[in-house]
Structure 1
Amino acid sequence: MDSSSITDACMNNDLYKVQQFVEDSADVLLMRDDDGRVPLHWAVSFQNEEIALYLLSHMETVDIDELKDKAGWTPFHIACAVGNMNIVIELCNRRLKPDMNLSTVQGITALHLAVSKKHMEVCKFLVDNGASVRIKDKKLQIPLHRAAAAGSMGLIELLCKAQSPINVQDYQGWTPLFHALAEGHGDVAVLLVNQYYADDQLEDHDGKKALDVALDDKVRKHYIQNIL
């Protein structure tokens, strides 16, 4: 059987066809496509919850952490990336629970992904259930780097309250403060300095300070006027 058949059914939200495939042969549940993905990856990616729950009901002894595609993404990574809280909870309620801190090939965790898309509810759930705020990806970025780049005050507060380091430098020597200013998020930059004591005197690998990479003069001026 071609894995593309059940994959198409998962993408097209055709529960009846998915059920037919599974009833004909349970082997399709773990059949990999060219991306190394099983049907559950696609049901979650397209947020077809009914199909995802159906597939999971036939996968009770399967360890989700073993279902890595070629990029190292599991269905749990995808659920957090798309922000589907129902599926995230369903996956975490299984007897074989997913590892909150499992990294992809690029070193990215579920929290990195949820933060990047500003899925606050998912991020809070992950942090409350043991997701680390300190894991670095291959670019040496922690989730706080992504929260700063995304310009989310709420996520900055969530991560910092969870004891996230503030002055971690990534592959180019940038701290979260650099990313906030470079993306034009002046309010986030001010919050990082005034509330969480980010060091704006640190230099990146090119010898630049955070203010030197600010998006424009408006952002730079706002920052200067508001830091304590």
Structure 2
Amino acid sequence: MQDTTKPNKYAIHEACREGHLQTVESLLSASPKLTLVTDPDSRLPLHWATTSASLAIATLLLQHTPSLDTHIDASDSSGWTALMIASSLPSSSGLPLASLLLSRGADPNAKSHGGQTALHFAASKANLDVIRALLDGGASARIRDRRGQLPLHRAAAVGSVPVLRELLGKGKSAVDVADADGMTALHHAVCEGHGDAALFLVVGGAADAGKRDGEGRTALECAPDAKTGEFLVRGAEREGVDLV
């Protein structure tokens, strides 16, 4: 049975996770240093405020955090920073938080234990507005994670043409980089059946359709079905590109 007479050491973490602003205000009023307390997952209250998309709480925590420049990029047990969490929230709902964190000095190129940056996570969720904010804030689209993947690989895997366009344009991402499996962004787009994304990479990004992955396959040979392959071939032909 839980001993309710003992104070909850992680009460502020719970309040941040649940979005209880008044509770956080009360706890910080009694002990401002609670902003630096980490829970068993090495998460600060800021991590939880970001997870719950609580802009008001995150703002309050940052106002009370001493030596903010050394704590804003604190990582949890997975190597995730608050900016990475904000960047991975669905439908760009983390944009206000990402913008706040960037304005307070968060490093957009910090890496998780897997070598991913906030841009990798934003690309995985097709969070276009967050990606734009990250690029404006100095994020590099040329950083590879431990599997050799760029954010471009992730955008291709989810089939987001707008994100691919942003990464290749403003982000100046390389288009034909191969990951640890020898797969380029084009391979990933085709493998997942994203014909529109694959066609954009070939036509708009000048991707090399002849590159082979670690198993010796071209992107076209990775098509999950004949329909995807035919769509890509016919679309490329209309643009004057011969893939066969």
Is 1:180 paired with 2:189?
Answer: yes
- Which among 119, 122, 126 is matched to residue 111 of structure 1? 119
* Matched residue, 2:3: none
User: What letter is aligned with 2:14?
Assistant: D
- Equivalents in 1 of 2:210, 2:40: separation in Å? 48
In the alignment, which residue of structure 2 is the partner of 1:88? Answer: 98
The answer as to whether partners of 1:101 and 1:110 remain within 8 angstroms in 2 is yes
1:79 equivalent in structure 2: 86
- Partners of 2:100 and 2:137 in 1: how far apart? 14
Counterpart of 1:55? Answer: 61
Indicate if the aligned counterparts of 1:3 and 1:28 stay in contact, CA closer than 8 A: no
- CA–CA separation in structure 2 for the residues paired with 1:40 and 1:129: 20
Which residues in structure 2 correspond to 1:1-228 (within 5 Å)? 2-59=8-65, 61-63=67-69, 64-82=71-89, 83=92, 84-94=94-104, 97-161=105-169, 162-227=171-236, 228=241
| SS of match in other structure, 1:68 | coil
- Residues 33 and 65, structure 2, Cα contact 8 Å, conserved in 1: no
Q: Could you tell me how far 1:128 is from its partner in structure 2?
A: 2.0
The residue type equivalent to 1:53 in the other structure is T
- Which structure 2 segments of 5+ residues have no match? 1-6
Counterparts of 2:195 and 2:20 in 1: how far apart (Å)?
46
Where does residue 4 of structure 2 map in the other structure?
A: none
In structure 2, how many angstroms separate the alpha carbons of the residues matched to 1:225 and 1:3?
62
* CA drift at 1:60: 5.4
Q: Is the 8 A contact 2:37 2:45 kept in 1?
A: yes
| CA distance in structure 2 between the partners assigned to 1:223 and 1:112 by the alignment | 26
CA drift of 1:124 comes to 0.8
Query: Shift of residue 59 of structure 1?
Result: 1.6
Q: 1:142 is matched by which residue type in structure 2?
A: L
Which letter maps to 2:197? V
SS in 2 for 1:51: helix
Cα deviation digits, residues 42-82 of structure 1 (max 9, x gap): 01101112111111111253234541111111111111111
| Contact 2:36-2:65 at 8 Å conserved across structures | no
> 1:150 corresponds to which letter in structure 2?
V
| CA-atom RMSD in angstroms | 1.4
Q: Are the equivalent residues in 2 in contact too, given 1:36–1:68 (CA < 8 A)? A: yes
Q: Which consecutive unaligned segments of at least 5 residues does structure 1 have?
A: none
Alignment coverage as a number of residue pairs: 226
SS at match of 2:68: coil
TM-score, L = length of structure 1: 0.94
- The runs of at least 4 consecutive aligned structure 1 residues that moved more than 4 Å come to none
Query: TM-score scaled to structure 2, two decimals?
Result: 0.88
Task: Name the CA shift for 1:154/1:66 in 2 (closer, same or farther; >3 Å).
Answer: closer
Distance 1:3 1:218, change over 3 A: farther
**Aligned counterparts of 2:12 and 2:215: Cα–Cα separation in 1:** 51
Superposed CA deviations along residues 13-41 of structure 1, whole A, max 9, x for unmatched, are 11111112112212211111111001110
